Amino acid sequence: MSRRDFYQVLGVPRTASPADIRAAFVRLAKHHHPDHAGDAGDLPGRLQEVQHAYRCLSDERARATHDRALDDSERLHFARQRRVQCRLHRFDGRHPHAQPRPQPDPQSRLRRIRWRSLLIATVSMTILARLLTLVG
């Protein structure tokens, strides 16, 4: 969303009445006013944001425009999320041709290692015996 959600700035739901919006604005304006809050960093910027949100939500035409923009941005956000989910669908294990990998038996692995080392030892002993007979 490119613009800030003014309902979120004021802390009111989208179905809030003008009286609720006014009450939230007064409460936040008192809280963020520089005379009341003292030196607390970004409070003047936050107060401007609250004032801008109230100006927009207090005017019926501006509020309707803001609601349409929020609906459009939500719709685009969900469409983007669906596209990402479609792209990632093939990686999440629900692939239609997914085959579970067979797990090797630990005993067969040990047997294979024993036979392999026995074969290597036998061949090396045979080669060594032939070399000794040729030399001696």
Asked if residue 100 belongs to a domain, the reply is no
pTM of the model: 0.56
Asked if residue 115 belongs to a domain, the reply is no
**Interatomic CA distance for residues 80 and 75, integer angstroms:** 9
In CATH, what number is assigned to the domain containing residue 86?
A: 1.10.287.110
Q: What is the mean pLDDT of residues 62-81?
A: 93
Q: Tell me: the pLDDT tens digits for 30-65?
A: 888 877 766 666 677 888 899 999 999 999 999 999
Q: How far is CA 122 from CA 35, 54, 128, 129, 136, in A?
A: 93, 89, 10, 11, 21
| Parent domain of 36 | 6-91
Asked if residue 83 belongs to a domain, the reply is yes
Asked if residue 19 belongs to a domain, the reply is yes
Asked if residue 50 belongs to a domain, the reply is yes
pLDDT number for residue 12: 94
Asked if residue 28 belongs to a domain, the reply is yes
| Total domains in the fold of the chain | 1
Q: Tell me: the pLDDT tens digits for 89-101?
A: 666 666 566 666 6
